[in-house]
Amino acid sequence: MSNEGLAFIVFSAGMLVLMGIGMNMAMALVLTGAGMAWVLGFWDTQLLAQNLVAGVDSFPLLAVPFFILAGELMNSGGISRRIIVMAQAWVGHIRGGLGYVAIGAAVLMASMSGSALADTAALATILMPMMRLQGYPMHTSAGLIASGGIIAPIIPPSMPFVIYGVTTNTSISALFVSGIVPGLIMGAGLIVAWRWVLRGLKLPQGTALPMKERLAATLKAFWALLMPIIIIGGMKSGIFTPTEAAVVAAFYALMVALFVHREMKIVQVHGVLVRAAKTTAIVMFLCAGAQVASYMITLADLPNVLTGWLGPLVESPRLLMLVMMMVLIVIGTALDLTPTILIFAPVMLPIAVKAGIDPVYFGLMFVLNGAIGLITPPVGTVLNVVAGVGKLSLHQVIKGVNPFLFTYSIILFVFVLFPQIVTAPVAWMR
């Protein structure tokens, strides 16, 4: 067997074994990368260290800690809560209204934080007690909230788009633009699925609030609604880059929390910074570990091996996309979104480009598929967040998420058949 073939076995078997014993994903990537280096004859601790540093030595990656910080400030400073209260004022009285509130708030919050876990935690913390009190079936409610939370990686600003853009050298601004229409379609798909679920539920219908109270709730959410306009408008007009947009988002959220809403004290900022730093450390260590594995994957020429396997499909771009999406669905059941991007995006994108697939469209589809993986068992990190907040078993949440997971699968398939849904808005906005 050639060294390249042996390196592939070391990588795939090593990842399966290390993940099976519960090892940290970043450490698993470093160790499998080191094992591949040994097999390929490139063992050098200095080379491994250089790749670890190179994995995080990127200016665009600075957007990640600032978007994480912005999300923490939104949750701690009352921005997220005001969005939910506003949505409840407008649609909370409808039968099953809290479900529509969850969907509307998820779409709005997605345009601010870019983090599925942060948005899901905020939605679940506020809405699940209300849903339990009004007699909503908790497994279905949890599934809906989890499904709404994964819109965050699609609608800009999106941290996964930043990581994908850095990893594959794709325009982050173009990726941001590509996510607007699909994100709104995901929200519309959840509305349809929720209406279908409601058929078998007996839920109370509330009384509509007077227009004065609705407008008052909207006015209280004014500063929250202004945030995505500033971020997306600033990037679209060229005032600042996506990285600078992340800094603006964090600074804006801090100012609103401290001096406008005044729901955060100066002494609380330290705790917010610590939580954001811990989350950032996890993401950055993943980026560093993935760079080690990616470098060795390149040396082993595994992208060309994969190209040889998928070569016959290059002449049929839609069939190739369908096959790659099916592969990523399987991968998403075992891997989180960030390591999926770091490991597989650099390998799959050259094949897609060779088949004539637009790299921005492929990036959107890749991240969308990985986001769906966040609510796909057995890993499903977003499912675990909702289960923890709602004090439910993972089995209950998995049962409740199925109708919405089916809806997202249909949307993904439609995007494969009709890529113009993604590419046309990007071309128009450019």
**Amino acid at the residue 65:** P
* 309 pLDDT more than 80: no
Name the more confident of 236 and 245.
Answer: 245
What does the pLDDT read at residue 2? Answer: 64
**Residue holding tokens 């079936």?**
137
Count of C-beta atoms within a 10 Å radius of residue 234: 17
Domain boundaries, the chain: 3-429
Q: What is the pLDDT of residues 15-44, one digit of tens each?
A: 878 877 878 888 888 898 888 888 888 788
Closest CA to 382 of 392, 372, 393: 372
What does the pLDDT read at residue 37? Answer: 87
CA distance 29 to 318: 31
* 1 pLDDT more than 60: no
Four-point Cα dihedral 352, 356, 361, 363, nearest 10: 30
CA distance 153 to 372: 10
**In this structure, what token pair is assigned to residue 89?**
């004022």
Percent of the chain with pLDDT over 70: 98
CA distance 68 to 272: 10
Q: What is the pLDDT of residues 260-288, one digit of tens each?
A: 999 999 999 999 999 999 989 988 998 99
What does the pLDDT read at residue 219? Answer: 96
The gap between the terminal CA atoms of the chain, to the nearest Å, is 49
* 392 pLDDT more than 90: yes
Task: Compute the Cα dihedral for 181, 186, 188, 192 and give only its sign.
Answer: positive
What's the CA angle centered on 296, arms 292 and 299, to 5 degrees? 145
**Residue holding tokens 């990581």?**
163
Q: Phi and psi of 413, rounded to 5°?
A: -65, -40
What does the pLDDT read at residue 116? Answer: 92
Question: What pTM, to 2 d.p., does this model score?
Answer: 0.90
* 430 pLDDT more than 70: no
* Burial class (CB within 10 angstroms; exposed 0-12, middle 13-18, buried 19+) of 348: buried
